[in-house]
Every structure is written in C-alpha cells, then in structure tokens.
Amino acid sequence: MSPLSKRIVIILSLVVVAFVATGYLRARSNDEKAYRALTVYSEVLDKVQNDYVDDPNMAQVTSGALHGLLDSLDSESAYLSPLEYKDYKEKSATKASGETGLVLIRRGYIAVLGSLPDTPAAKAGLRIGDIIEKIAGFSTGQMAIGQAELLLRGAPGTVVKISVIRRGKTEPQDLDLTLEKLPAPKLLEDKLQGDIAYLRVPKFDAGMTKQIREKLVQFQHQGVKKLILDLRDCPSGEDQEGIATAQLFVSSGTITTLKGQTVNPVVSTAEPSKVVWTDPVSVLIGIGTAGPAEIVAGAISGNHRGDTVGDRTYGTASTQKLIEMDDGSAMILTVANYYTPDNKEIPANGVAATAEVHPSIDEVIAANDQNQPVPSEKPVSADDPVIKRAIEILQGAATPARKAA
C-alpha cells in the first residue's frame, strides 16, 4: 500500500471510528460494550487493509461502511456520500409536478409500501412488498428513500424505467412509468347497513382533516349514528394532519407523543373544542396503514374511543433530520418516534388491531395478481371480512379483551 493510500486509510478510519464512537459513547458512556465495538471495528479494518486479496479502495470501503451503519438503524435513516448529497440537493431544488404515486420504504433495497389510487404506479399494478431493484438504471441497494423519490419525479410525460421484483418472484421485471401530475386524493364515502356510514382515507395530505370534518358533519345531518373509518392502504401524508384528524374523534387524553434521545417529548393532546364525531367509530387498519394513519388509529384505540379492526399496521410514524457533514456528505437520521397513548413505540410495534381479521388465501392471491392494476376505488362491500367484522362490532358484537401492554 502506498504512503498516500495509508494516509487516506488513517484519515477515513478516524472519521468512521469517531462517528461510531459518538453514537455509542453518548448513549452509554460508561459501558465497556462501546469500547468492545470499536475494538472489533479496528480489527476488521486491519484485516481488510492487510489481508484482502487486492489493495482495497478505502474510500469505497468507508462509504459502504457508513451506508451500512445508517441502514442498520431503521428504514428511514440513510447516509449520502458527498457525490450523492450534491446530486440530492440539485434534484431537490428542481420543481417537478410529474410523479408516479408510489409510497416507498427501504428494506435493504427500496420497496413499495403503497400505490396511491389513479396513479401510474397503481395502473402498473405495483403493490406493497414489491422490491424496486433499479430506478433509471441506478441500483437501490444503498439508496435513501429521498433519493428514490427524486428519481421518480420529473416533468409530466417523462418515462422512468424501473426494475421490479414482484412479491413471490425471484426475477426482476422491467417497467416503464410515465410521470403524471397526480390528482388530489379523494375521500370515498358510502352508506352501509342501517345508520352506518363508511369513509375511506387514501392519504393524509394537507387539507385532509378539513375534508374529513366536512364529511362527518354531513353524516350527522343525514342521521348517521355509526362510522367505519377505513385507513387500510393509507400509507403516507403529513403527521400534523393525522394528529388533527384524531382530535375530531377523541375528546380527552393523549393523541400521541413524539420523543427521541435528543428530542424533548412533544405531547399532542385531545381538545374538546375540536371534536366533531362523538358517536361510535371503528377504524380499519392493515399492513398498508402507515405514518399519520397510525397516529389516528393509535389515538382512537389507545383512548378506548373505538376499535381497530383488521391487522397490525406497518410501523413508520417517525420524524427525520438532515445533518450535513464537513466532508460534503450528509445523514438522514431518524431523531424521534411517535408513541401511542399507552406509550407503545409505533415504528417498533405498529398499531395492533383490537379485533383481528386476517385475509384468506384467495384474497392474498387476488391482491397479488400482477396482471391487474390496483383498483382506483375498491368497491365497498359488506362482504369484505374486515368491514363485516366492523359492522358486527358497531351493532353490538363483543370484541376480545384488550391485551395488557
């Protein structure tokens, strides 16, 4: 190894060691595990330097180590190298109205958490669990969610090529997504049996709480006495919209608490003056329920205001901070998580259903039919087992006793 290479190794090693040490020592400064971790890292680095088959590119090794370090924390945290961060800032500054409608999560590679109705992603049949291996020719193996989202934006009419591994498949499939200016998300409403109304929320964009409030007032004028609030396949939006929507239903208690190691707890509470709906409510949830929708479901369930029906939510309700580094790189770091009123960490636990309803094999197969687009408006049917169970509960059927935290 040349003197210059050795110098680079030393400098980069110090950067990584300092980074790791800061995280460990801040959390447990008196814990010998911190020193043990640094010793292991030093040993690994020494072996790479001296025993690897070729003279290693230590800049690349260090970048990979930092990507892996952030990737090991949670699905939202990510490292951006100086080149990646430069590109990220340039693309972020570009105003683009064309989108795909994909909601993304990261599990090693970028994956699909949901496809918004009436969007290119929905028309292509992209569903939760599909793995996006490449976007515009770039591997998503170490890609931050924000980077992927920027690659999937542009002028309407622009074609973005992606490579997707569908759920249950092993080989990637190439798809062309034509970007569109997306329509504003719409509530889907219906009347079910007797005095039961149904309201489906696709996304908690700005202004969604206002729309929901107006619908609830309308239902009351129509003599509706019970409500099914469908938050299945509601994977994104603004956290404050979720908090504000929960306040339409909960008159007392805690809505949610946001807290982290360096973030003082921020408690959002119920406000009686904001309550619109005081009649019975059941909330439908599932694996496609994430973010702000989890705040709503957790607040209603945690305050015993209503039942959650279906399956456990995904678990993403958190907040991130962009931290710039001196070398031109950056971190997108999760700094705080949302908690339910009973102090359960949503990203770690999701929100559990108080009345569990699991899909049948036929329903799972139908939901993963790759030849069919994601329906823009799933028909509201009392035969839907989750809706059926919610109706039974609203009509007085007993639910299982809630498990202790």
What pLDDT, on the 0 to 100 scale, is given for residue 91?
92
5-10, long-range: CB < 8 A, 24+ apart? 5/55, 5/58, 8/58, 8/59, 9/45, 9/49, 9/58
Enter the DSSP assignment of 272: G
- Per-residue pLDDT of 179-206, as tens digits, reads 999 988 889 999 988 899 999 999 999 9
- Per-residue pLDDT of 14-71, as tens digits, reads 444 444 444 544 544 546 766 777 788 788 888 888 899 998 887 888 888 889 989 9
> 265-301 in b/e burial notation, b at 16+ Cβ within 10 A?
eeebebeeeeebbebbbbbbbbbbbbbbbbbbbbbbb
Q: Which CATH code fits 188-320+332-394?
A: 3.90.226.10
Phi (first) and psi of residue 185, to 5 degrees: -60, 140
pTM of this prediction exceeds 0.95: no
**Same CATH fold assignment for domains 84-178 and 188-320+332-394:** no
What pLDDT, on the 0 to 100 scale, is given for residue 5?
47
DSSP for 341-374? TT--BHHHH----SEE-PPPHHHHHHHT-TTSPP
Enter the DSSP assignment of 320: E
What pLDDT, on the 0 to 100 scale, is given for residue 107?
84
Rg (CA), the chain: 24
Looking up tokens 């770039």 gives: 138
What pLDDT, on the 0 to 100 scale, is given for residue 361?
55
Tokens of 85: 């961060």
Look up residue 363 and give its amino acid.
E
Ranges of each domain in the chain? 3-72, 84-178, 188-320+332-394
Cα distance between residue 15 and residue 21, in whole Å: 10
- Three-class DSSP labels, 27-40: HCCCCHHHHHHHHH
- CATH top-level class of 84-178: mainly beta
Tokens of 239: 């956290």
What pLDDT, on the 0 to 100 scale, is given for residue 399?
65
Look at strands 109-115 and 131-135 and give their pairing: antiparallel
pLDDT, mean of each 10-residue run, the chain (405 residues) = 45 46 48 75 84 87 88 94 95 92 93 93 93 96 95 96 91 96 91 92 96 97 96 96 98 98 96 98 97 98 98 97 96 98 96 90 57 62 90 83 52
What pLDDT, on the 0 to 100 scale, is given for residue 9?
45
